[in-house]
């Protein structure tokens, strides 16, 4: 692997872990280090850090809070 690419991965342990869990990216980056931005996008999707995934997570939390409030209201009656 290109030393600059590997140094970048060492500085970002989450991406290094992603490469270890998906060895096909090690091969892709060894052959073409310019694929690093694409690998970062895949890692964001894998770890759930894309904007739609974050919005979905917030919605799930809000639904849970609403449900708990309804349950507390039902118990009060």
- pTM for the whole structure: 0.75
The distance of Cα 77 from the centroid of its chain, to the nearest Å, equals: 43
Task: Count CB atoms within 10 A of the CB of residue 39.
Answer: 20
Average pLDDT (58-68) is 97
Q: Which residue stretches of the chain are H helix?
A: 3-11, 13-21, 23-31, 36-47, 51-76
Task: Give yes or no for residue 53 having a pLDDT over 90.
Answer: yes
What's the angle, vertex CA 50, arms to CA 33 and CA 67, rounded to 5? 160
C-alpha dist (Å) from residue 5 to 23, 29, 33, 76 = 15, 8, 6, 59
The pLDDT tens digits of the residues spanning 25-45 come to 999 999 999 999 999 999 999
Task: Give yes or no for residue 59 having a pLDDT over 90.
Answer: yes
């Amino acid at each position: 692997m290109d030393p600059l690419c590997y140094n970048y991965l060492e500085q970002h342990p989450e991406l290094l872990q992603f490469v270890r869990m998906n060895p096909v990216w090690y091969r892709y980056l060894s052959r073409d280090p310019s694929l690093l931005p694409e690998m970062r996008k895949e890692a964001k999707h894998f770890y759930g850090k894309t904007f739609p995934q974050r919005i979905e997570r917030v919605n799930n939390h809000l639904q849970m809070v609403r449900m708990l409030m309804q349950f507390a209201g039902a118990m009060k009656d």
